[in-house]
Amino acid sequence: MSGLILHPMKEIKIIIEGEHLKFVSDLLDKVKATGYTVINIISGKGHHGFHEGHLMFNDTASQVMVFTVVPAEKVEPILSGLGPLFDRHSGAMFVSDVAVSRRDRFIPEKP
């Protein structure tokens, strides 16, 4: 082993219509997630059938995936914030256990 120490964290993957990206990114900023990645124009098959990943009119008309890695205590506030979105709109969310070597990158600095 190279001497790296792994720290447990949670990875949250959120698949939504592109028009809801600002809602999700604002939520992640509000709970102080230190960062997130957005993958635009994704394809897949789910409860509503197959969703083609192509640009129709603009990037808000296609599905996007947002994923972030956060400490475990941030999962519940994110889930609570996403509840109203998923009550009214289609989408999916996955929470997984992950380990990171650079824990300081995922914990916001105290002011």
CATH of the domain at 17: 3.30.70.120
73-95 confidence digits (pLDDT tens): 999 999 999 999 999 998 899 99
> Is residue 1 situated within a structural domain?
no
Residue 54's domain comprises 7-63+70-92
- The mean pLDDT of the chain is 87
Return the DSSP state at 48.
Answer: T
Give me the DSSP letters along 16-39.
EEGGGHHHHHHHHHHTT-S--EEE
10-28 confidence digits (pLDDT tens): 999 999 989 999 999 999 9
Is 20 in contact with 85 (CB distance < 8 Å)? yes
> Is residue 39 situated within a structural domain?
yes
> Is residue 12 situated within a structural domain?
yes
